[in-house]
Structure 1
Amino acid sequence: MALEDAFANFTRRDWDQESPDGTVRLAVIGVGDFARNRALPGIADGSYCETTMLVTGSPDRTRTVAESFDVPHVVDYDAFLAGDHAETYDAVYVATPNATHGRYATVAADHGKHVICEKPLETSLERAREVVDACADAGVTLMTAYRLQTEPTVRRMRELVDDGVVGDVVQVHGGFSHPLVAHAGPDTWRLDPDLAGGGALVDLGIYPLNTTRFVLECDPEGVYATTHSSGEPFDAVDEHVAFQLEFDTGTTASCTASFDAHASSRLELVGTEGKIHIESPFGGVVPQEMVVESGDVRMEYTGPPVDEVCEEFDYFGYCVLTDTAPEPDGADGLADLRTVEAAYESAETGCRVELE
């Protein structure tokens, strides 16, 4: 591939081959900040999904949100579990705290509804397998909400790697930091290990982990990790984490994540013949800036921003409408949780942990 070809039609939806008719009606379960400020607008701006129900612990307080997005039904969690208004939606988006993902996803599957579930699928590999099995038994689509897999810059990076533009990938460098308490306060559920399943690794480190696996199209065979917490309010979870992934191709990925550092993210691949750098891939809005070096040639691309959340829901809707298996499926979610659990084991033992 010539480098200039890589930047042509940069934001193309290479997955959208059929342009299906209709929409997938969604019940959004959990109406927190991300659902209100990113998911609901992204769904509304897209083509293949529409929100027809909100599920919340505070229906009265959520009706204003429902009105602003023209959502006709608002119910509480018990009503959802009981199947109220099940005829008004085709799929659910699970955006509740991690430890509750399984309960709502499996009930949705029992109701015959497709599922897009925030990552991680659950707080343990065992519990996540129950979600995957429930969706498989019900014959419904399950997508783990890895929105970066639908983001154009990341997809173009994978294409460049596939085409050998940088030769064999030798090193990956990824990091994501976010000052959590400054934005969410010390009482956020993300600092409760029972609800979150972990700290910076689970909430932030999973971004470079999953994106690295996606771009390289393979899973790590070993991991070494260290964690550190300085005290309250991070005393129950990992405040900072560093982990190294080893792949059977000889590639290593060095990744970091932090709940208590200046907001920053990065992703860079270094190969035998070049490198690729994406500016701020994990911060929520990718600026569509990429630098590619291949041999003696260096090119930079800067394009218009793309709403990765809108891309994610349109991709999910497309998969449901066309009966296409999503790439970030349940198995993808399980692979990350397997690595996360191995990383925590490594941090506790101080030893490299081999992955199956």
Structure 2
Amino acid sequence: MDLDSYFEDFTRRDWQMLDEASVRIAVIGLGRFARERALPAIRDAQFCEATVLVSGSPQKVADLPGTVAIDRVIDYEAYHAGEAVEAYDAVYIATPPAFHLEYAETAADLGKDILCEKPLAATLEDAERMVDVAAEVVLMTAYRLRTEPAIRRLREAIRDGVIGTPIQIHSGFSTQVLDYAGPDSWRLDPDIAGGGALIDLGVYPLNTSRFLLGVDPVAVSAETTSSGPPFDRIDEHVAVQLIFPDGATASCTASFNAHPDSRLHVLGTDGQLWLRFPFGGHVSQEIVIERGETHARYTGPPVDEVSEEFDYFAHCSRTETKCECDGEEGLTDLRIIEAAYTAAETGTRVDL
């Protein structure tokens, strides 16, 4: 088995646009991620450009660096009224989750494709409504790991039996949320965020496990803990176990108040593989594979998975290709997350 064939080029895409024009994006919301990650990623993307900003904060607009050049800036009321509709082809929704639905509804009414940040909504009901109203446009959940080349190489290797039959996945994502969000942040308000560490960070290992195995879990168990203010209304730490139809399991952990880290380990009947810092952003990726007497290590250059995400969205928008991480994907994860919260509350395994 030639392992090199999977990893000799970390950055190759298994999708590619051919000569399509750029997709003009209206960026809705100017929070930290939109300012620091999304706008630079759109600027560096091959097939996207940000042409409209939608924000209720003139100060955030004024504070944008000079490298961000936007044609039009409008407020939320003007967006809902259809102002500047001729200046963009699609929207990127980067507001807190409780407000995703209202901006998606307007985009769908205007016939604009939608890239919506995860989670798709703060509640399962809102997510179901979004999928319904966006039925006639492209709706993509912003799972940037789905477009990260190293993750896609791992999926190929697992599908081809490089480590035999997958048995267990162990993955986790932790951060010190108070380092970048104050105690009054929406991230700590369950009515706005939809939950805590699980819905904000745990969705990464959860969704990536589903992506790598290519199948949905049939049951879930979970435990959540919180140490007190400012985490008293949400899950500060969470551990989730997903059970898949063939008996494989995925142990997914997340924390809002731990040493920053991310990790991914997949154990199979014939081997195992690791990916260091899979959820850590724009970093160099290292894959380690063991199979029998073979021990291989592959290191690839940093790839901005946010730029990859926007280019993949543009590809789907222009070619009418079905997104692998469409609205139904975001909806499935919210169903699992809701079941996980129920499992944690009741102390029982919940069938899906």
Query: Would you say 1:167 and 2:175 are equivalent positions?
Result: no
Q: Give the Cα–Cα distance (whole angstroms) in 2 for the partners of residues 295 and 78 of structure 1.
A: 61
Aligned to 2:8: 8
> Which of residues 329, 334, 337 in structure 1 aligns to 2:331?
334
User: Residues 67, 113 of structure 1: CA spacing in aligned structure 2 closer, same or farther, 3 A cutoff?
Assistant: farther
Equivalent-residue separation in structure 2 for 1:291 and 1:67 (angstroms): 40
Point out 4+ residue stretches in structure 1 off by more than 4 angstroms: none
In the alignment, the residues of structure 1 paired with residue 7 and residue 194 of structure 2 have an alpha-carbon distance, to the nearest angstrom, of: 39
Q: Give the C-alpha shift of residue 165 in structure 1.
A: 0.3
- Aligned partner of 2:343 in structure 1 is 346
**Deviation of 1:20 (Å):** 3.2
CA contact (8 A) 1:20 1:322 kept: no
Amino acid paired to 1:6: Y
Q: Does 1:247 align with 2:258?
A: no
Structure 1, gaps ≥5 residues long: none
1:124 offset after TM fit, Å? 1.5
- CA shift, 1:158, in A, is 0.2
Distance across 2 between alignment mates of 1:120 and 1:343: 15
1:242 alignment partner AA: A
Contact (CA 8 Å) 1:66, 1:74: kept in 2 or not?
A: no
C-alpha deviation, 1:294, in angstroms:
1.6
- CA deviations on 1:73-117 (whole Å, 9 max, x unpaired) are 111111111111111101000000010011101111111100000
> Structure 2: any 5+ residue segments left out of the alignment?
none
Say how many residue pairs are matched.
352
Please state whether the residue corresponding to 2:13 is helix, strand or coil.
Answer: coil
Partners of 2:286 and 2:332 in 1: CA distance: 29
- Tell me the residue number matched to 2:198: 201
Distance 2:284 2:131 in 1: 33
Q: Partner residue of 1:51? A: 50
**Distance of 1:67 and 1:100 partners within structure 2:** 28
CA distance in 1, matches of 2:66, 2:53: 11
What secondary structure, in the 3-state scheme, does the structure 2 residue paired with 1:12 have?
coil
Deviation at 1:184, TM superposition (A): 1.3
Judged with a 3 Å threshold, the aligned counterparts in structure 2 of structure 1 residues 61 and 247 are, in CA distance, closer, same or farther, namely: closer
Pairwise mapping of residues 214-253 of structure 1 onto structure 2 (< 5 A)? 214-253=211-250
2:308 corresponds to:
311
Residue correspondence of structure 1 range 60-71 to structure 2 within 5 A: 61-65=60-64, 68-71=67-70
CA distance in 2, matches of 1:286, 1:117: 23
Q: Measure, in 2, the Cα distance between the counterparts of 1:215 and 1:19.
A: 27
Identity of aligned residues (%): 57
CA deviation string 1:31-56 (max 9, x = no partner)? 11111111011101011110000011
Matches of 1:96 and 1:183, distance apart in 2? 16
Q: 1:128 to 1:214 in 2, by over 3 A?
A: same
Q: Secondary structure at the match of 1:51?
A: strand
**Corresponding residue for residue 20 of structure 1:** 19
> Which structure 2 residues correspond to residues 107-146 of structure 1 after superposition, within 5 A?
107-136=106-135, 139-146=136-143
SS in 2 for 1:263: strand
Q: CA offsets, 1:13-66, max 9 Å, x none? A: 1111x4232111000001111111110111010111100000111135404528
Query: Following the alignment from structure 1 to structure 2, what is the Cα–Cα distance between the partners of residues 64 and 52?
Result: 17
Residues 10 and 301 in structure 2, CA contact (< 8 A), matched pair in contact too: no
Instruction: Give 1:162's aligned amino acid.
Output: R
Q: Is the 8 A contact 1:226 1:346 kept in 2?
A: yes
| Aligned pairs (5 A) from 1:293-308 | 293-308=290-305
TM-score (norm 2): 0.98
Match of 1:179 in 2: 176
RMSD: 1.1
Name the CA distance, whole Å, in 2 between partners of 1:168 and 1:340.
Answer: 26
Letter in 2 for 1:240: H
Distance in 1 (alpha carbons) for counterparts of 2:27 and 2:167: 41
